[in-house]
Copies of this chain bind each other. A is one copy, B any other.
Amino acid sequence: MKKYGFGIDVGGTTVKCGLFTVDGEVVEKWEIETRTEDNGSKILPDIAETIKAKMAQRQLDPEEIAGVGIGIPGPVNAAGEVPCAVNLHWGFVPIEKDLSAMTGLKVKAGNDANVAALGEQWKGGGAGYHNMIMVTLGTGVGGGIIVNDQVIGGAHGAGGEIGHAHVDDTMTEQCNCGAYGCLEQIASATGIARLAKKALAATDAPSVMRSAEKVTAKTVFNAVKEQDVVAIQVAERFGSCLGKALASFVAVADPDIIVIGGGVSKAGPILLDYIIPTFKAYAFSGCKETKFALATLGNDAGIYGAAKLVL
């Protein structure tokens, strides 16, 4: 009988690992280094080794293990292959086949943002709902769209790449993706910091942000909590833009709940106060009451979601 599953979240510097019961309880979490040298050829053997060591240490029989779920910072196609993953220095890697051969276990792989969304839907902010849009506001903006408990991977592995939805016709700066006016340019931590710097430069109004050594998204939302006028203006621009974008996304996917995660979400519920009014103003009538929640699993969302791929 299957009792356990592994959830692995591969990042550019560390690989997060989790051993889970089939009910989704964490038995143990640990990390290993991501060794990207030699075109990242050591990454999968390192992961196989740490899994086998953990099984030996805990005297787990392969028969008890449902499998290994793994999240990758790059696209994963329907055949369980990674065409390319820049941060791992990988070209084509048939990850499910290779890691399965190395461990003797069933392996299921997914894109890391999609896998994190699955984690939040399983055990985090979206728990109890079958249809969810996850928005991850970090250095960039990522996402994951869950329909009937399944992540939309997409025909080109780009399902949930909502950071690159077009939201602003006035943007003259170019996004990392090459386009202009992507959601990521406004709603990411980087985007919020840039908006703040521009707002400060455009006015002589006093602002607590002026004394910050470095203006970050955290600076902005801390200042908002102190009723800082310039920071509030930035938060309004952020919330209006994200609220409108989410209103468009629900016209496509119509989820039960929208979960906001990533570093920016640490600002707390105040974030939602800036997003929801615009969302309600622009959402299709049947979707105006879509629920909102903040992510709750933090950096563990990836290992939870990865484990869910096999549990």
Taking Cβ atoms with an 8 Å cutoff, the residues of A that contact B are 75, 129-131, 133, 145, 147-148, 150, 152-167, 169, 177-179, 181, 244-245, 247-256, 281-287, 289-290
Contacts and interface: CB of A to CB of B under 8 A. Distances in A.
A184 to B, nearest CB: 10
Contact of A281 (B152, B162, B179, B253): B179
Mostly, the A contact residues are loop
Contact of A284 (B150, B155, B161, B284): B161
A158 B248 contact: no
Which of A130, A133, A248, A255 has the most chain B CB within a 10 Å cutoff?
A248
A282 B179 contact: yes
A162 to B, nearest CB: 5
A150 B251 CA distance: 17
A130 B78 CA distance: 12
Contacts of A162: 251-252
A248 B256 CA distance: 20
A158 B281 contact: no
Contact of A253 (B253, B282, B284): B253
Nearest to A257: B155
